[in-house]
Amino acid sequence: MLIAIIAIALVCLYFYNVRNFDYWKKRGVKHDKPIPFFGTNLKNFLLLKSRSEITEEMYFKYPDEKVVGFFRSTTPELIIRDPEIIKKILISDFSYFYGRGFHPYKRNIEKLIQNLFFVEGDLWKMLRIQMTPAFTSGKLKAMFPLIVERAESLQQRTLLAVKKNLPIDARELMARFTTDFIGACGFGLDSNSINDDNSDFRRLGRDVFNPPLTTIITSTLKMLFPVLFKDLKFFGHIERRSFNLVNKIQQSRNYKSIGRNDFIDQLLDYKQKGPIEIESMEKLQATGKPEKLKFELTNDLIVAQVMLFFGAGFETSSSASSYTLHELAFHPEIQKKVQNEIDEVLKKHDNKLSYAAVKEMTYLEWTFKEAMRIFPSLGYLMRECTRKYTFEDLGFSINEGVKMMISVAALHKDPKYWHNPEEFRPERFSREEFTNVQKDVYLAFGDGPRVCIGARLGLMQSLAGLAAILSKFSVTPAPETVRRPPVVPTSDIVQNINGIPLMFHKRH
């Protein structure tokens, strides 16, 4: 009897698991054949390839298709290859695709994920309105002296390492620089991550993007069985430390803005002003007009936004700037052009790094953007369909809950849009060469209403860090440097590389 019950249960589980596997076949969308439990995502579940690598692989596997079907376990997803469809999803039809789609079970979202990057709908709209003023040009200029201080510390740290004539991990070096800056402008703290090998702040940063195996298993279980494992937390390993850190800073300020003008100060200021009223994206009155909703910043929301500012602020910038140094190490002629520009601009500004000086470093900016083309920090974008949507040109509709996957990494390497895409050539981003089509497929910072809110801040701190390094040092490959560093298979939203060892040489 028991054997019969188990057999029936297994059969039921099997049919429940494969219930959606004809989803793309019914719509005439090409896709790989899914397998039970894993769908077409087996390599990711087995930690053989990252989500970004899987999406890129599928993009190039079907070169003649505008869209490609995919199954993440039992959930149907659609990989978008066509730039016009991408624009509709990210911009013109945003009202259908405002969801990120990272919450398999939407009624139980853990505290640290209640931030601008992850949340959806009306809460996202409120947070976007509240946080946008923190990233104006005026605020960025006001932050720049903090960057200069950290850039000088970065130079000193690099000089000490150069004297030992040993390889330096550029990934770790730039992460310390960006962590220090984010600590100062976000938290009002001098974390001294650049010089302190045991900095609590730097350890917290590592833990955010290098989760333990238990957390990776948690993520997999939530994807496979979202209802059964809805209470498991992806950021549980850092939640208590994060709340303790932010609450301690707020307590020291008596939970009020004290005029420091850092990120926590601005959020406390918004909280003091009281609830904000918005027009709902999700709820309509009987007349068809959006409902008016009121939101206020709770303590949980403040902690979540601050930790997003910290995690996204240091990780993406350090990834992009260290990979720029990696490419320059293998292209000494381009490195020399960058250094010549930096020297000329600094000479006009009394040899001092400043906001105005960095804005003049055009070739350095092209170089940075070219490095992000070859290795974007975010290898893919994801959007979730929030109501039934019809692809008129393709002749089929999709249901609410289907996720759209846009492979940034693949679009940046597609020879259809880039001549000789494997070549590192900053001149691609000159005004004369950068075409409208390339603007549509260059998505290093995303696009549309959910474009990265801190894109200008990330660009500014990255260029300043690179200018500080390259004005004093040159870089070459170390004996152990790998030409194309592999992506860590467990990395998810941000593409991660274990290390970028380079030799740094003092310029004369």
DSSP structure string for 37-102: TTBT-HHHHTTSS-HHHHHHHHHHH-TT-SEEEEEETTEEEEEE--HHHHHIIIIITGGG--B---
SS3 category, 270: helix
Q: Which two tokens stand for residue 154?
A: 């970065």
- Residue 164 near residue 292 (C-beta atoms within 8 A): no
Distance in angstroms (rounded) separating the CA atoms of residues 463 and 33: 45
- Closest CA relative to residue 237, chosen from 118, 110, 102, 100: 110
**Rg of the chain over all Cα atoms, to the nearest angstrom:** 24
Tokens 């899987």 sit on residue: 54
Distance in angstroms (rounded) separating the CA atoms of residues 492 and 191: 27
Distance in angstroms (rounded) separating the CA atoms of residues 422 and 138: 38
For residue 452, say whether it is annotated as part of any ligand binding site. Answer: yes
- DSSP run (H or E) holding 201: helix 200-209
- Residue 497 near residue 319 (C-beta atoms within 8 A): yes
One-letter amino acid of 194? I
Query: Please, what is the Cα angle at 54 between 51 and 55, to 5 degrees?
Result: 85
- DSSP run (H or E) holding 473: strand 473-477
Distance in angstroms (rounded) separating the CA atoms of residues 371 and 373: 5
DSSP letter at 508?
-
- DSSP run (H or E) holding 284: strand 276-284
Distance in angstroms (rounded) separating the CA atoms of residues 426 and 482: 21
DSSP letter at 262?
S
Q: How many other CB atoms sit within 10 Å of the CB of residue 156? A: 12
- Closest CA relative to residue 71, chosen from 110, 124, 18: 18
Binding-site positions: 452
Binding-site positions for heme: 452
